[in-house]
Amino acid sequence: MATQELIQNTVEIIDSAHSYRHQLSGLLDTLTELEQQVCSSGQQAEATLTGHFNKVKEAVNKALDARLQQLLDELHSTKMTALQPLKECRTLIEKSVETASLVMAEGAAILSSEPENNVEKILKFKDNPLTKCLASFPELPSPSEVAYFTVETSPDLKEQLASLLSQEGRVLKQAPVQILDTDEKPGGVIVHWGEVEDESDFGEFMLQYACGRAANEDTKLLFHKAYEGPLTSCTVKNLRTSTPYTFRVRGRCDKCSPWSTWSFPYPAATSIPHHQWGDNGEAYSLSNEGRTATRTSEGLTCVLYSASSSYTAGDPLILRILDSADVSPGDGLAILCDKQEDSCNRSGAIFINTYGTVFVDGNEMKTKLPPIKKGTTLTFQTEILPNGKVRVSVQVDDKEVTLDWRVSSPPGGMGFGPMQMMQPSSPSFYFALQFAQEHWKVGVE
């Protein structure tokens, strides 16, 4: 083997080792993040447990003190009530004792001063009302009629509390529901989640999101509810492009059950700009970052296309009529393969006019949808079929029509058909509107 070849082999080995070391360095960085996740989440869980049990201890002590004071107050009040008739009886007896003492003193005085010569005093003493009261005794209640206080307590309370508290709290290595992955969409993210515990059987989920990356410090972010219901995926819209967001999810069996703990804070972002209208001179004005178009002048029916072919097959496209005006022939909304013509009712387009008539490649369908007016929501949902056609569902308010569309021209600049279905990406379409009267206002989602 030539020396030059040996040198080249050595260089290649060094390059391979350098690449290997670089990849290992990346693995070490990831490993460090995972170790930090374990440690920081453990510290946070420890603080949560300590705080929770301290609050429980404080609440239990407060409840015990309050109950003890309530019972003592009740005992004192009942005791005072029970003593009152006994006190009145005591007063009456003590008064009778004084009366008897007075009678005894008066009688003794008569007997000590020649009673034979004081018959009149004796008769008067005999008729004295106090003397006649000596045979009257107050009636005392029996012991069974008088209060004899006892206390009734739960003999098993301590054991019950100990048993209840021994079951409080649970250390989870993972929350029972976790976010599995996310998909970028125009101005949004589709979040998918699922249950990771076999024991759980949740029928309802709640998804929240916050702007910023939370890592394990999710308490510092302001979370907003994005979804609550039985589904296991949700499209979160109106997100800023290339901005980090954090998502979390939790579940419960039914509305009467408590929510589970939150999932791991899942970071995600979208690099795809939101749907927006293109620029068409003075005929339309744009607002809400290009998501709302308003016809600003009257004249010939004028088409306004989307800024790009941002509507991807497989996703829903929602158009909302925010304001309306007089209806003119040719007014309506559409999805299209291109934007080469100043008309929406043509080949390579599915067009719905303001009367609710559906046109496919310029041909009118028999099925009609409700008229388009202020407050109308029009939704396109597309699906690529194995035969190369596009299944399109068009829904206006609560009525829907479904059709299979053979696209003849390349949507969004991409050809597709039975042989192109192996492509990893789905074809995309333009969306458009055309109105003649001013004040028509349409928002896109």
Final residue of a structural domain among 218, 243, 268: 268
Q: Quick check: is 20 in a domain?
A: no
Over the stretch 33-73, which tens digit does the pLDDT of each residue have? Answer: 899 989 988 998 999 999 999 999 999 999 999 999 999 99
Q: How confident is the model at residue 170 (pLDDT cuts 50, 70, 90)?
A: confident
Whether 207 and 237 map to the same domain: the answer is yes
Encoded tokens for 350: 């599915």
Statement to judge: residues 409 and 435 lie in one domain: yes
Is 273 domain-assigned?
A: no
Other CB atoms closer than 10 Å to residue 335's CB: what's the count? 27
Position 10 in a domain: no
Q: What's the confidence (pLDDT) of residue 424?
A: 42
Least confident of 98-107, 180-189, 242-251, 427-436: 98-107
CATH code at position 309: 2.60.120.920
Domain endpoint, select from 215, 244, 268: 268
Domain count, the chain: 3
pLDDT of residue 317: 94
Please report the pLDDT score of residue 219 as a whole number: 60
Mean model confidence pLDDT for the chain: 88
Asked if residue 229 belongs to a domain, the reply is yes
For 377-425, the pLDDT digits (tens) are 999 999 999 888 999 999 998 899 999 999 865 555 444 443 343 344 5
Same domain, 186 and 131: no
Could you tell me the two tokens for 45?
């869980």
DSSP assignment of 209-263: EEES--TT-GGGS--EEEEEES-SEEEE-SPPTT--EEEEEEEESSTTSPP----
Domain's final residue, options 107, 133, 166: 166
Is 310 found in the same domain as 419? yes
DSSP per-residue codes, 133-193: GGG--PPPPPGGGS--------TTHHHHHHHHHHTS----SS-SEEEEEEEEETTEEEEEE
220 part of a folded domain? yes
366 plus 385 within the same structural domain: yes
Instruction: Judge if 186 and 235 occupy the same domain.
Output: yes
Asked if residue 431 and residue 389 are part of one domain, the reply reads yes
pLDDT at 98: 82
What is the predicted pLDDT for the residue at 409? 52
pLDDT at 103: 76
pLDDT at 408 (0 to 100)? 66
Residue 6: Cβ within 10 Å count: 10
Q: Do residue 64 and residue 157 come from a single domain? A: yes
Is the CB of residue 207 less than 8 Å from the CB of residue 226?
yes
Which domain covers residue 123, as residue numbers? Answer: 39-166
Higher pLDDT: 98 or 207? It is 207
Q: Is residue 278 part of a domain?
A: no
Cα separation, 405 vs 417, whole angstroms? 12
Mean local confidence (pLDDT), 155-172: 90
Find the range with the poorest average confidence among 156-165, 251-260, 412-421: 412-421
Question: How does 45-74 read in b/e, with b if 16+ C-beta sit within 10 Å?
Answer: eeeeeeeeeeeeeeeeeeeeeeeeeeeeee
Q: Are residues 304 and 423 in the same domain?
A: yes
Q: What is the mean pLDDT of residues 197-221?
A: 81
pLDDT band at 8 (very low <50, low <70, confident <90, very high): confident
**Residue 343 confidence (pLDDT) above 70:** yes
Evaluate whether residue 27 is within a structural domain. Answer: no
Residue 218 has a pLDDT of 52
Band (pLDDT 50/70/90 cuts) for residue 215 is low
Q: Supply the pLDDT for residue 213.
A: 86
pLDDT of residue 28: 95
How far apart are the C-alpha atoms of 184 and 64, rounded to whole Å? 55
What is the pLDDT, as a whole number, of residue 418? Answer: 38
Residues 347 and 325 in one domain: yes
C-alpha distance from residue 121 to each of 98, 102, 134 (Å)? 21, 15, 19
pLDDT of 416: 44
Q: CATH number, domain at 230?
A: 2.60.40.10
249 lies in the same domain as 398? no
CA distances from 205 to 195, 257, 317 (A): 10, 12, 24
pLDDT of residue 197: 77
User: Length of the chain, please?
Assistant: 445
- With respect to residue 127, please indicate whether it lies within any of the assigned structural domains: yes
pLDDT tens figures, 274-331 = 999 998 767 899 999 999 999 998 777 789 999 999 998 888 999 999 999 988 888 9
pLDDT of residue 144: 87
Q: Does 307 lie in the same domain as 223?
A: no
